[in-house]
Every structure is written in C-alpha cells, then in structure tokens.
Amino acid sequence: MSFILKSYYSDKIAFLFEIISFVFTVAASFMLATTADNPQMEYIYPLFFIGSVTGAYAYYRRSLAFPMFLVAYFSLMNIYGFGVALGAW
C-alpha cells in the first residue's frame, strides 16, 4: 500500500492520469473478453485509446521513456484499428 501513496505524492497529476488509464483499459479489456465471440470493436478501440493516451501522458510526466513509447504505440494502433472497425481504411 505504501507504494501507492508514494506514487500519489510523487506526482498527483500523473497518478490521476494513471487511474484514468487503468479504468478505461480495464473496461475495454472486460468488454473484449465478455464479447469475444462477436466484439463490437467500434466501442472497444476508443476505450483502449483513452487508456493508452492517458497512460502515455502519465508516463511522460514521470519520465518513464519505454512505458511511454509502448502505450504511445498502442494509441497509434488503436487509431488504426478503430478505422478498420469502421471501414474507413
């Protein structure tokens, strides 16, 4: 529990963005898992995108380069996947 408090006190804004990232990513993952036979990706990709972007910003604030690069890549892939799900490309 002390590492959560340490994370909170070290950067409260990053902590908030990490919580937002967590909530949206867990929600998207839950939706994907519970509808795996016929997922509605036009709803799932935006949730993953919000989770990725907020995570990237939090990692940027904390100067965590590789986690930031990873979730920034996820953000780009979520944009591409969303376009595929909508038939835009």
How many C-beta atoms surround the C-beta of residue 13 within 10 A? 10
**DSSP summary character for residue 38:** S
For position 2, what pLDDT does the model report? 92
Instruction: Assign 2 to helix, strand or coil.
Output: helix
Single-letter amino acid code for the residue at 5: L
Q: What is the pLDDT of residue 1?
A: 83
pLDDT along the chain (89 residues), means of 10: 93 98 98 96 97 98 98 97 94
Cβ atoms of 41 and 87 closer than 8 Å: no
Say what the pLDDT of residue 89 is: 87
What pLDDT shows up at residue 21? 98
